[in-house]
Structure 1
Amino acid sequence: MASMGRFIDPLTDFGFKRIFGSEPNKELLIAFLNELFKGRKVIKDLVYNPQENSGPAKHYRKTIFDLSCTGTNGETFIVEMQKA
């Protein structure tokens, strides 16, 4: 029988949301994403957005927009985290 670990895997949906997915950890998530973007985009604020949006037709899958971000230049964009 495999033993349960004591740590949360940030590469799972549960782990990522547990570590980064709440308002008290918002600044940590902004810093993490800005590091990933390496200056291509710079986030100054984000809103956790757990709503589902349907595609334009029935055969499209639903999309979950996890984060609505505002860049330092006023640009707004969506970040959806997925493990591929």
Structure 2
Amino acid sequence: EGLRAVNLGPNTPVPAMQQAFAFHQPRLVWISASSVLAPERAAEIANWLVSLPTSTLAVVGGRECGPILAAQPSVRHLRSMGELAVLAAELRA
């Protein structure tokens, strides 16, 4: 969709996400949770997402993203890759 994706892989520690964010300075951060997260890990991810600058859109998805949303309800939730494609198109516009 005209954006460059950087995949940090599964189970990436939040400090590594912070370093990657500082290096790449993305306009969009997408976290896909496809396996069960411990509540502490979900809260750590959620708190990091809401700490990002307002110029960066942070979203989560995946079948196991519920704990992230429970830890920080203000995190934006996308239910499909189609929704992500629409959002990416909006960012390009």
TM-score by length of 1: 0.29
Higher relative CO (Cα under 8 Å, sequence separation at least 6) belongs to 2
TM-score by length of 2: 0.28
Structure whose residues are more often helix by fraction: 2
Pick the structure with greater CA Rg. Answer: 1
Structure whose residues are more often strand by fraction: 1
